[in-house]
Amino acid sequence: MPAHPELLAQNAQFEKKLHKLSDRVHVAVGYAASNVGFLVGDSGVVVIDTTETTQAATNVLADFRAVCDLPVTTIIYTHSHRDHISGASVFAEGRDVQIYAADNFSSDLVKVDDARPAPNAALMARTKRQFGISLPGDERVSLGVGPGDRPMQGMGAGFMPPTIRVAETITVTLEGFELELARAPGETPDHLVAWLARDRILFSGDNFYHAFPNLYAIRGTPYRDFDAWAATMDQLMAYRPEILVPGHTLPVIGADAIRDALTGYRDAIRHVVSETVTGMNAGLDPVTIAAGLRLPADLADKPYLKEFYGHIGFAAQAYYAGTLGWFDGNPTNLGRLPPAEEAQRFVALAGGAEAVAQAARSALAKDPQWAMELADRLIAVGQDAAGREIKITAMRDLADATINAPMRNYYLLSARELESVGGDG
C-alpha cells in the first residue's frame, strides 16, 4: 500500500532548491533533512546551519557556488541537533572559520561520558527507526519536515565545535551584515535565532517548521519546555519579520502569514498544555488525555499544524511525564505486573494462545492497534511466529494510514527488524 497521500503531498515543502530571498540572502531547501542559509557579504559568506551529512553539504555548496564564489568565513548553528551541525567542515573548506552557537549548546544531547551510564544504544536504535535510516527508498518517503530521499554519506562527519558562545542577545556585524543573535529556547533549550533587520529576515531554527511542533520525539528525548517554546513565539513575532526561514521546510513570506504561523504555533502549544492540565486535574491518565485531545477547529485547519512531524497525543503524554512524571496516579500502577507476566495470565484467561491468535487475526483489517496489542501478548508467551506475523502486518497498515512521518518510519523499520528476527529463528 502507498503512504498516506497527505504525507506524500507534504514533500512539496522540501523540493530541492536554492531559494533567493533577497539580493544577498539565499536558503537551500530539500538537499538534506534541514535547510542551509547563506548571507553573501562583500568579501565572505555567513552560513546558517550545515545539514546532517558531508555529502548533502557538498551538494548544497556546489549549487551555491554557481551563484557565489566567496569563501565562507562564519557559521551559525541555530541549535545542536545533528541534522544542523554535521556539514560544517565542507563549508569551511579547510579555512579557520568562526562558529557561533548558544552558550548552552549541546545541552539537549546525551553526553558521551564513560563515568556515567547513558542509554546511547537505545537512542541509536530508536533514532534509526524514527528517521527510517536503512529503510529502502520506496518506504522512506518523508521525515515529516525533510525529504526521505537524501544523501546519507558522511552522516555526522563534518561537525566542528563552536568557537564563539552566545549567552545573551548580541548584535554582531558579520561580512557587512548587522545581525542580532538571540537565545530563543523552543525545540531545544540551546536555540539561537538570527535576525537580519536590513532585510527583515528571521532565521528561526527549529522553533518553527511546517508541521505540528515536535514537543516529544519518539526517538527518545528529555522533556521539552512547552511554556518556553510558546513564549519564544512572541519573542520572534516582536521582530515583525517579513521573511521567516525555518530550520526545515519552506520559508514563510509576508508579515501577515508569519504572524499567523507564529500565533498558531504558540496557541497550539498552549492548547495542548491547558487541555492536558485539565485532564490531569480531573485525575485522567496520560493515555486517556492523549486519546481525547484535538486542536480547536481554527487551528486544526492550519497546514503548518498538521501532524507530519510532531504529534498532539505524544505532546500531551510528554507534558504529563515532564510535569507529574511516569506515575499516572492510579494505585494499581504502583505495582504493575511486567508485560510478560500479564500476558501469561491474559492468554490463559482468554482461552489460550490459539484463541488469542484468532482474535488478533480477525482484528487486523479493522483494528490493527488491537491486533498489535494481542500480538505482543502472543510473542510474550512464546507464540513468536504467529505474534510476529500479525504485528508486522498491523504495523505496515498503521504506517500507511498515518500522516505522521516519525510514526510511519518507526513502524516500517520495526516491521523489518521483526521480520529479520523471524528469519534467524
CB of 209 to Zn ion, least distance (A): 8
Q: Count Cβ atoms below 10 Å from residue 74 Cβ, excluding itself.
A: 23
List all residues 6 or more positions away from 112 whose beta carbon is below 8 Å from its beta carbon: 118, 120
CB of 202 to Zn ion, least distance (A): 16
Choose between 143 and 318: whose C-beta lies nearer to Zn ion. Answer: 143
Choose between 52 and 139: whose C-beta lies nearer to Zn ion. Answer: 52
Residue 307 interacting with Zn ion (CB under 5 A): no
Residue 389 interacting with Zn ion (CB under 5 A): no
Q: Count Cα atoms within 13 angstroms, Cβ side, for 419.
A: 11
In contact, 375 and 347? CB cutoff 8 Å:
no
Choose between 232 and 393: whose C-beta lies nearer to Zn ion. Answer: 232
Choose between 4 and 81: whose C-beta lies nearer to Zn ion. Answer: 81
Region from 1-9, 76-84, 250-258, 333-341 binding Zn ion, contact rule CB under 5 A: 76-84
CB of 68 to Zn ion, least distance (A): 25
Choose between 209 and 320: whose C-beta lies nearer to Zn ion. Answer: 209
CB of 145 to Zn ion, least distance (A): 7
Choose between 16 and 200: whose C-beta lies nearer to Zn ion. Answer: 16
In contact, 24 and 43? CB cutoff 8 Å:
no
Strand arrangement of the beta sheet that strand 98-102 belongs to: 17-22, 25-29, 36-40, 45-48, 72-76, 98-102, 164-166
Kindly report the three-state secondary structure assignment for every residue of 255-274.
Answer: HHHHHHHHHHHHHHHHHHHH
Residue 206 interacting with Zn ion (CB under 5 A): yes
Long-range contacts of 347-352 (CB under 8 A, 24+ apart): 347/377, 347/378, 347/381
Choose between 83 and 175: whose C-beta lies nearer to Zn ion. Answer: 83
In contact, 30 and 59? CB cutoff 8 Å:
no
In contact, 48 and 193? CB cutoff 8 Å:
no
CB of 49 to Zn ion, least distance (A): 8
CB of 340 to Zn ion, least distance (A): 37
Region from 78-86, 149-157, 283-291, 331-339 binding Zn ion, contact rule CB under 5 A: 78-86
Rounded Cα distance between 202 and 244, Å, is: 5
Count the site residues for Zn ion by CB under 5 A.
Answer: 5
Choose between 175 and 206: whose C-beta lies nearer to Zn ion. Answer: 206
CB of 332 to Zn ion, least distance (A): 39
Residues 27-46, mask of contacts with Zn ion (x by CB under 5 A): -------x------------
Region from 103-111, 153-161, 206-214, 380-388 binding Zn ion, contact rule CB under 5 A: 206-214
CB of 88 to Zn ion, least distance (A): 15
Burial of 131-164, coded b for 16+ CB within 10 Å and e otherwise, reads bbeebeeebbbbbbbbbbebbeebbeebbbebee
Nearest to Zn ion by Cβ — which residue?
206
Choose between 104 and 204: whose C-beta lies nearer to Zn ion. Answer: 204
The sign of the dihedral angle between the CA atoms of 81, 86, 87, 91 is positive
In contact, 360 and 343? CB cutoff 8 Å:
no
Among residues 30, 247, 264, 286, the one that binds Zn ion under rule CB under 5 A: 247
Region from 6-14, 88-96, 162-170, 239-247 binding Zn ion, contact rule CB under 5 A: 239-247
DSSP-assigned letters across all residues of 172-226: EEETTEEEEEEE--SSSTT-EEEEETTTTEEEEETT--SSS--SS-TT--PPP-H
By CB under 5 A, name the binding residues for Zn ion. 34, 81, 83, 206, 247
